[in-house]
């Protein structure tokens, strides 16, 4: 307001100088006065300077004005002919594919459903961990249905200026109405669908409000299917999740043992592989991996074969690829001292021995070669897929995690920073036992993260960790000759494989 007043005074002064210069010029011309002519020229120069100043200020004002970004609705469009993914390319999600086959049939043959009064589900929400195939399922549905596929990411609707996101939502749905039949797919919908706050005038909330409006009146029009995907269903707004907007919430889990085996076979089907690959063993080693991880493992194995000038992928390359994906690249720049290598060998050997004694899994490999941030690792393969864990099994897991730190204290009478990740995992697991699973001395009671319960929770976590540490210490003392033998050979060879590890244990047991 103050700047506007000053600018007005400047314009008035400019007009006054122009008029004064004109009068002085006329007077000078009539009287033929040199003095008046100089005064007129001076007034004219001042007026020009003032005009230049005002013009420069105006340009600066326009240069600071923000440009509102625009996004054409045509950029959302993807023809189904450009999609190469089909349901045959997707393995390990048979139940979900059965659901989508019905959606595909509805899109292609709507009349037989309408005769029975059935209507298309109000929306489909895929949720689950990253890399499990949510986007791939939406693409396959579009390809199998033979309809246009409109893809957008949730972040495309997030803008600095209020109203832009809502405008893009309207543009997206207008495009869908003009391209029926089609499928709209919004990936990472949590970017715009998070729970609204008290400030309902924010850009994100305005965008969500527009999406809610479009979804409410959208499915009265046949030929349009709305699908969304997210990794964070817990933060989505309740109004977005209600029936009528999303009638089907489909959870896409991390693949099970059978699913991992099918995914592995699917990725290796069109690649030259050796005949003796053990798919079951590899699937057990990939426990917890998503479909994206398995695809990465297969690709890394193929790259290794090219590097070795091999013509077929073998189990050895796949094993190495699993290590590369799980542990990271081999870090050759880290050169450990002899003392450090000895400590790491004892640390990793302790993990393996405690795991063996507690039957927590089968040891596939022990290494003291640095990979990624880790100075060593133990590859522990589960004997079978487990969906329920007892309290004893969880305590055994904590014992395995604490074994490295315990071995350092027993052998060197000193602890190091090498157990950082082990301690984080052990504390996290103990916290889950207390707060979520009701496995503390309070039995079935669970705890929320509040100040009132913090001291109680911390005491219970400490009791679990101390109990597990004492059990681990007793196991290592009883198996000290085995620990020293495994650590000694690991120190020399740097890598121990499954058969070598169990051979050392058997020889030590016989010697005792």
Q: How many alpha carbons lie under 13 Å from residue 307 in its C-beta half-sphere?
A: 8
Q: What pLDDT digit, counting tens, does each position of 268-322 carry?
A: 988 999 988 999 889 988 888 899 999 999 999 999 999 999 999 998 899 999 9
DSSP string for residues in 99-127:
HHHHHHHHHH-HHHHHTTT----S-EEEE
* Residues 132, 135, 139, 140, Cα dihedral to 10°: 20
Integer Cα distance of 108 and 144 in angstroms: 10
Active site includes 348? yes
Mean per-residue pLDDT, 115-120: 81
Q: What pLDDT digit, counting tens, does each position of 182-200 carry?
A: 888 898 898 888 887 766 5
Spatial CA neighbour of 379 closest among 434, 313, 322: 322
Judged by average pLDDT, the poorest of 85-94, 217-226, 329-338 is 217-226
pLDDT of 170 strictly over 80: yes
Please state, as a whole number, how many other Cβ atoms lie within 10 Å of the Cβ of residue 214: 19
pLDDT of 348 strictly over 50: yes
pLDDT value, residue 73: 46
Integer Cα distance of 103 and 226 in angstroms: 11
Q: Which CATH number fits domain 260-327: 3.40.605.10, 3.50.50.60, 1.10.8.60, 1.10.10.10?
A: 1.10.8.60
Mean per-residue pLDDT, 5-30: 63
pLDDT value, residue 74: 47
The residue annotated as part of the active site, out of 188, 317, 348, 460, is 348
Q: What pLDDT digit, counting tens, does each position of 47-69 carry?
A: 666 666 656 555 444 443 344 44
Mean per-residue pLDDT, 485-509: 90
| Topology classification of domain 338-511 | Methane Monooxygenase Hydroxylase; Chain G, domain 1 (1.20.58)
pLDDT value, residue 318: 92
Model pTM? 0.75
Any idea where the domains of the chain sit in the sequence? 2-64, 73-251, 260-327, 338-511
Q: What pLDDT digit, counting tens, does each position of 239-256 carry?
A: 888 888 888 899 999 998
pLDDT value, residue 91: 87
How wide is the angle at C-alpha 82 spanned by C-alphas 78 and 85, nearest 5°? 110
Spatial CA neighbour of 418 closest among 405, 407, 429: 405
pLDDT value, residue 37: 63
- Backbone angles phi and psi of 377, in degrees to 5: -160, 160
Which SS3 state, helix, strand or coil, does residue 257 take? helix
Could you say which DSSP state residue 89 is in? G
Higher pLDDT, 81 or 407: 407
Residues with Cβ < 8 Å from 474, sequence gap 6 or more? none
Higher pLDDT, 387 or 80: 387
Mean per-residue pLDDT, 410-421: 92
Q: By the 8 A CB rule, do 47 and 21 touch?
A: yes
How many Å separate Cα 236 from the centre of its chain?
16
Structure tokens at 282: 């590899």
Integer Cα distance of 344 and 350 in angstroms: 10
Percent of the chain with pLDDT over 90: 32
Q: By the 8 A CB rule, do 447 and 434 touch?
A: yes
Q: Write the CATH number of the domain with boundaries 73-251.
A: 3.40.50.300
Judged by average pLDDT, the poorest of 19-28, 106-115, 263-272 is 19-28
pLDDT value, residue 426: 95
pLDDT band at 483 (very low <50, low <70, confident <90, very high): very high
pLDDT of 384 strictly over 50: yes
DSSP string for residues in 458-510:
HHHHHHHHHHHHHHHHHHHHHTHHHHHHHHHHHHHHSEEEHHHHHHHHHHHHH
Higher pLDDT, 25 or 492: 492
Structure tokens at 291: 């479909």
Mean of the per-residue pLDDT values of the chain: 83
């Amino acid at each position: 307001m103050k700047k506007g007043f000053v600018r007005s005074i400047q314009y008035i002064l400019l007009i006054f100088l122009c008029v004064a210069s004109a009068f002085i010029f006329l007077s000078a011309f009539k009287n033929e006065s040199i003095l008046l002519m100089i005064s007129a020229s001076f007034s004219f120069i001042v007026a020009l300077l003032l005009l230049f100043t005002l013009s420069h200020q105006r340009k600066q004002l326009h240069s600071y004005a923000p440009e509102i970004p625009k996004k054409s609705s045509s950029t959302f469009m993807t023809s189904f002919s450009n999609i190469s993914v089909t349901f045959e390319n997707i393995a390990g999600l048979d139940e979900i594919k059965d659901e989508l086959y019905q959606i595909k049939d509805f899109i292609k043959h709507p009349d037989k459903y309408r005769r029975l009064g059935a209507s298309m589900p109000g929306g489909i929400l895929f949720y689950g961990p990253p890399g499990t195939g949510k986007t791939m399922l939406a693409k396959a549905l579009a390809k199998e249905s033979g309809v246009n596929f409109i893809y957008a990411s949730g972040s495309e609707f997030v803008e600095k200026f209020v109203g832009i996101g809502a405008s893009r939502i309207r543009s997206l749905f207008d495009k869908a109405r003009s391209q029926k039949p089609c499928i709209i797919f919004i990936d990472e919908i949590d970017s715009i669908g998070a729970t609204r706050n008290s400030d309902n005038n924010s850009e994100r909330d305005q965008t969500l409000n527009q999406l809610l409006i479009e979804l409410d009146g959208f499915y009265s029009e046949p030929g349009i299917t709305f699908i969304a995907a997210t990794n964070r269903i817990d933060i989505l707004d309740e109004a977005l999740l209600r029936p009528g907007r999303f009638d089907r919430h489909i959870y896409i889990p991390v693949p099970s043992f059978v699913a991992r085996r099918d995914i592995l076979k699917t990725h290796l089907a069109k690649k030259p592989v050796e005949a003796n690959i053990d798919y079951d063993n590899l699937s057990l080693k990939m426990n917890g991996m998503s479909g994206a991880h398995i695809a990465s493992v297969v690709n890394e194995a193929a790259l290794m074969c090219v590097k070795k000038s091999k013509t077929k992928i073998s189990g050895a390359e796949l094993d190495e690829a699993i290590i590369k994906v799980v542990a990271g690249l081999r870090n050759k720049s880290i050169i450990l001292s002899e003392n450090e290598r000895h400590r790491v060998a004892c640390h990793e050997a302790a993990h393996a021995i405690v795991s063996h004694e507690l039957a927590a899994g089968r040891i596939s490999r022990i290494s003291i070669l640095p990979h990624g941030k880790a100075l060593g690792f133990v590859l522990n393969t589960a004997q079978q897929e487990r969906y329920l864990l007892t309290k004893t099994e969880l305590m055994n897991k904590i014992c395995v995690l604490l074994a490295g730190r315990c071995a350092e204290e027993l052998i060197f009478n000193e602890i190091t920073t090498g157990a950082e990740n082990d301690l984080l995992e052990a504390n996290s697991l103990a916290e889950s036992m207390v707060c979520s699973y009701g496995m503390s001395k309070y039995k079935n009671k669970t705890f929320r993260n509040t100040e009132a319960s913090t001291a109680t929770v911390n005491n219970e976590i400490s009791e679990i960790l101390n109990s597990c540490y004492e059990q681990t210490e007793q196991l290592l003392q009883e198996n000290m000759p085995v620990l020293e033998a495994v650590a000694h050979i690991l120190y020399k060879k740097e890598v121990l494989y499954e058969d070598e590890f169990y051979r050392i244990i058997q020889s030590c047991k016989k010697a005792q």
